[in-house]
Amino acid sequence: MAAPGAAATDLEVVRGKRAALFFAAVVIVLGLPLWWKTTETYRAPLPYSQISGLNSLQLRLMVPVTVVFTQESVPLDDQEKLPFTVVHEREIPLKYKLKIKCRFQKAYRRALDHEEEALSLGSIQEAETMFAEPSEQAEGSLTVYVISEHSSLLPQDMMSYIGPKRMAVVRGIMHREAFNIIGRRVIQVAQAMSLTEDVLAAALADHLPEDKWSSDKRRPLKSSLGYEITFSLLNPDPKSHDVHWDIEGAVRRYVQPFLNALRAVGNFSVDSQILYYAVLGVNPRFDPASSSYYLAAHSLPHVINPVESRLGSSAASLYPVLNFLLYVPELAHSPLYIQDKDGAPVATNAFHSPRWGGIMVYNVDPKAYNGSELPVRVKVDMVRVMEVFLAQLRLLFGIAQPQLPPKCLFSGPKSEGIMSWELDRLLWARSVENLATATTTLTSLAQLLGKISNIVIKDDVASEVYRAVAAVQKAAEELASGHLASAFVASQEAVTSSERAFFDPSLLHLLYFPDDQKFAIYIPLFLPMAVPILLSLFKIFLETRKSWKKPEKID
């Protein structure tokens, strides 16, 4: 009777052991991985290898130059060799991780008949009007005309001329090495009109190590999709001055053409306002020598902040805001001049602050006070004001004076206030800056994800990252083939996508839980389940070891 009972309990014990092992197997094989998978942060796959590849991207900036030779500019046997193409490439030495190479592709050709005619006229201005836009040249490209050595188109001592519309003129030479010499002159002129080291250094100023803080490099605005320009008239003393300004007409006549020329750079919106009883935060000092009031140069940095809160720039759009203030000083402080650091009054009576805007002080003509009772009607001379504001706008955008080659005749900007190749320089600088920013953003995102483990990456963020990487590569390709306009658009798209991915609200890192809090949460859940399983496994293990040892004892 004992044997079947013993066999039954044996069977029961074996079945029990198997059940315990099965439970343990389910927990370890299914439960642990399931728990691990469900508690890890979701990360959609990102192209990490491509992002790290962006760091070693080589940027090749190509400038297509068309060099047109007139009949007497070079010796005859050289003229037979036309047309052909010469490429001049050099690396820009900047201490930056992206290597930048600048490539001038010069296509030499002979002049057409109408071009010969235009270039044989008396003065360069007439020649330019003959060339008036049959076809608008593409952004980034240049045309250089080579005239004969003794031509009277340019004044005798001038070797070259740079015009406002992507056109330049260079003197030829009758010499064996004509093409080499002229090639060098063309390169000099082309560099002045497109890319030099300082243009790229200014674009990359935020990314280069700070060895010297020259004011040119710190000034330009950061690249953005659009800008908001606000013109404000500050009248602190309405009882004495009744100020009128035709701002709408001035904007329409002077500012709008300038902004239209800059249309490729971004969306601009312009607004204006008049503020009454708004004072500058600094008290002007009286100068008995000229019986006028002055603001010293060292007190100018403190002027802006007290006034800024009244300007209402927080109600404006999300684009960066540029403020231009016109201040009409009070009767008690008239006339008011701004002094530079040497104590001399500034001719424009204006100053600007990088990335913020500019302020101009407009003094009322003292003749207006004669005999009239207060308030005196003041009509602002908008031409004078707009000349200063547009100059400040140019400086704030980073359109600086180019480095001209020696003996070069330079015509100033036309009525819009900006020359076409200045726009090109801005587009080159902005494209490079956008690519640098997008690359840095993507690399920072990848680094952050490595460092902070509890950030979630959703699928739409991942798709923005992919788009940004593709846009960077496309922009680099377009720059290498010389299409500046499409390269700029691609670089803007790269920046927008990368910023959108980096600043997506879902990327806020999840709250951090210290380790002891994590234990406190998991132990009440897992310990009651784990203790029976572990104990039963331990029991099985001991019994198995005993049954192994038993045969040895018998033997």
Partner 1 sequence: MADTCFLGQGFSTLVGLLLLPFGSLAASQIEVTVENFLRVLTGRIPSSTPRSKRLLSDDRSNILIYMTGHGGNGFLKFQDSEEITNIELADAFEQMWQKRRYNELLFIIDTCQGASMYERFYSPNIMALASSQVGEDSLSHQPDPAIGVHLMDRYTFYVLEFLEEINPASQTNMNDLFQVCPKSLCVSTPGHRTDLFQRDPKNVLITDFFGSVRKVEITTETISLQPDSGIMESSYKKDLMDEELMEPLKYAEQLPVAQIIHQKPKLKDWHPPGGFILGLWALIIMVFFKTYGIKHMKFIF
List binders of partner 1 among 353-382 (CB under 8 A).
353-356, 358, 360
Spatial contact of 507 and 456, defined as CB atoms under 8 Å apart: yes
Choose between 368 and 525: whose C-beta lies nearer to partner 1: 525
How far from chain centre, in Å, is Cα 154? Answer: 38
Q: How far is the CB of 167 from partner 1 (least distance, A)?
A: 20
Taking CB under 8 A as the criterion, the residue among 1, 132, 318, 554 binding partner 1 is: 318
Q: Which tokens is 168 given? A: 């330049």
Distance from chain centroid for Cα 366:
45
Nearest to 174 by CA among 149, 191, 147: 149
Residue 205's identity, in one-letter code, is: A
Residue 453 contacts by C-beta under 8 Å, 6 or more apart in sequence?
41
Q: How far apart (Å, rounded) are the C-alpha atoms in residues 100 and 58?
A: 6
State which of residues 107, 279, 316, 404 lies at the interface with partner 1 (CB under 8 A). 316
Residue numbers 120-159 binding partner 1 by CB under 8 A: none
Residue 400 in contact with residue 460, Cβ under 8 Å?
Answer: no
Question: What are the Cα distances from residue 105, in Å, to 65, 108, 139, 141, 198?
Answer: 6, 10, 15, 10, 21
Closest separation in Å from C-beta 392 to partner 1: 5
- Which residues touch 482 (CB under 8 Å, ≥6 apart)? 62, 63, 64, 105, 140, 141
For partner 1, the binding residues in 18-47 under the rule CB under 8 A are 19-20, 23
Query: Which residues, numbered 245-274, are part of the site for partner 1 (CB under 8 A)?
Result: 246, 248-249, 252-254
CB of 384 to partner 1, least distance (A): 8
Q: Which of residues 200-219 bind partner 1 (CB under 8 A)?
A: 206, 215, 218-219
Q: Are 365 and 408 in contact (CB under 8 A)?
A: no
Residue 519 lies near partner 1 (rule: CB under 8 A): no
Q: Is 415 in the site for partner 1 (CB under 8 A)?
A: yes
| Distance of closest approach, residue 352 Cβ to partner 1, in angstroms | 5
User: Would you say 70 or 224 has its CB closer to partner 1?
Assistant: 224
Segment contacting partner 1 by CB under 8 A, of 7-15, 178-186, 326-334, 361-369: 7-15
> CA neighbours within 13 Å on the CB side: how many for 528?
2
Of 109, 98, 100, 36, residue with least CA distance to 68:
109
Q: Within positions 331 to 350, which residues make up the interface with partner 1, using CB under 8 A?
A: 338, 340, 346-348, 350
Pick 313 or 420: Cβ nearer partner 1: 313
Dig out the tokens for 517 from the structure: 């809090």
Rule CB under 8 A: say whether 537 interacts with partner 1: no
Q: How far is CA 224 from CA 113, 268, 475, in A?
A: 44, 11, 17
Which one of the spans 54-62, 180-188, 369-377, 504-512 is the region binding partner 1 (CB under 8 A)?
504-512
> Considering the complex, what minimum distance in angstroms separates the CB of residue 509 from partner 1?
6
Which span (87-95, 119-127, 164-172, 410-418) binds partner 1, by CB under 8 A? 410-418
Binders of partner 1 among 60-99, rule CB under 8 A?
A: none
Rounded to a whole number of angstroms, the minimum distance from the CB of residue 216 to partner 1 is 10
For tokens 């197997």, the residue is: 25
Q: Segment near partner 1 (CB under 8 A), from 53-61, 170-178, 444-452, 471-479?
A: 444-452
Size of the site for partner 1 (CB under 8 A): 83
**ω into residue 257 within 30 of 0, thus cis?**
no
Site for partner 1 in 273-302 (CB under 8 A): 297-298, 300-302
User: Does 390 sit near partner 1 (CB under 8 A)?
Assistant: yes
Of residues 145 and 254, the one with the C-beta less far from partner 1: 254
The reply to whether 496 sits near partner 1 by the rule CB under 8 A is no
User: Can you tell me the distance from the alpha carbon of 522 to that of 527, in angstroms, rounded to the nearest whole number?
Assistant: 8
SS (H, E, C) 413-424: CCCCCCCHHHHH
